[in-house]
Structure 1
């Protein structure tokens, strides 16, 4: 199964890294956690390999996309401590394939109709950094954003919930909080991630 076109692959920042070795990319990823370009380059290099493996093990394209994104989220976290030098026989590709196999065997996939994730709309690399940025949002902004974007609550309903929790806010206040949440969220993304994924769009 073929991956959708990768928005990252033709970006000048990514193309400039294509000549780097796997070990160099992993080292740079670990050394500069505030940059997303190294992880994005690894994704461009091995995304199709993992997508093919994962697609062969799932029942629907939606489940494949969901598991693919979660696999790269696992890779993002586990690769922070990966030491390829400790095992000269271990290649990055074999390590990635092993992570994919673990995810295939251990992940309980939701039914296709319950999956909201879209690979075409949210590339896995962007999803990883966006998830990290959401965790860094102040609690009130994160709550309002979650209720609005995940649970699709109206501003009026969010205001009523917050009022019940002792926060004297109106629907207009909620709209202002949402605008601030989007602005803060974008500012928390690495600069190169914003450049690669948001140059033609906006989180709001």
Structure 2
């Protein structure tokens, strides 16, 4: 199974960061949580290693991609509280060793769904983008977030969304759903870190 390539590694905001050590990138990630490029750089540096570990534990590319993304999501949140001062540059106490160890822990905690239940595209939503998209989604008003999730995750039409909302006593017609979705997409884009927008949406 071929290891996927991630073009964001060559982005002008990401490529210069490879001059930094792992510990420097981790420190910057924690100091500037409003920026996504530092996690993206760590992801690009270690994605081949993590994918190699993951692909030996699944039966299909679809499952490998999804498990790979879930593990990186887990790693992202764990990194927020990881103390760089307790790590070393190389060896058993390095960030690389920590990533391998935490990948094993995450793998034991994650239940891989059947292929037919997986609705995830690794190239469309690489883990750094997915993590920040999730954070941005949680900032949306609850009703707007629900409509965006139904439209994007379940591919529901505006008519079906309106029917569902009526069932839960949120009466909106199709035009109002359409307007709500447009508002949601605008709010979602605004809520993303500027560098994540430039790397994944604008390619600037």
The TM-score normalised by the length of structure 1 is 0.92
2:130 to 114, 118, 127: 127
The size of the alignment, in residue pairs, is 201
CA contact (8 A) 1:67 1:103 kept: no
Match of 1:56 in 2: 56
Q: How does 1:1-204 map to 2 (within 5 A)?
A: 1-88=1-88, 90-199=93-202
Distance 1:167 1:120 in 2: 35
After TM superposition, give the deviation of residue 183 of structure 1 in Å. 0.6
Q: Which runs of 4+ in 1 moved over 6 A?
A: none
Q: Take 1:29 and 1:130, find their aligned partners in 2: how far apart are those partners?
A: 17
SS of residue in 2 equivalent to 1:35 = coil
Q: Deviations over 1:98-120 (max 9, x none)?
A: 11111222321111222111212
Compared CA separation, residues 159 and 40, structure 1 to 2 (3 A): same
- Determine if contact 2:119/2:153 at 8 Å carries over to the other structure: no
Taking a change above 3 Å as real, the CA distance of residues 13 and 87 of structure 1, as seen in their structure-2 partners, is closer
Contact 1:29/1:38 (8 A) holds in 2 = yes
**Higher mean Cα deviation, 22-31 or 150-159?**
150-159
TM-score, L = length of structure 2: 0.92
> SS at the partner of 1:18?
helix
RMSD after superposition? 1.7
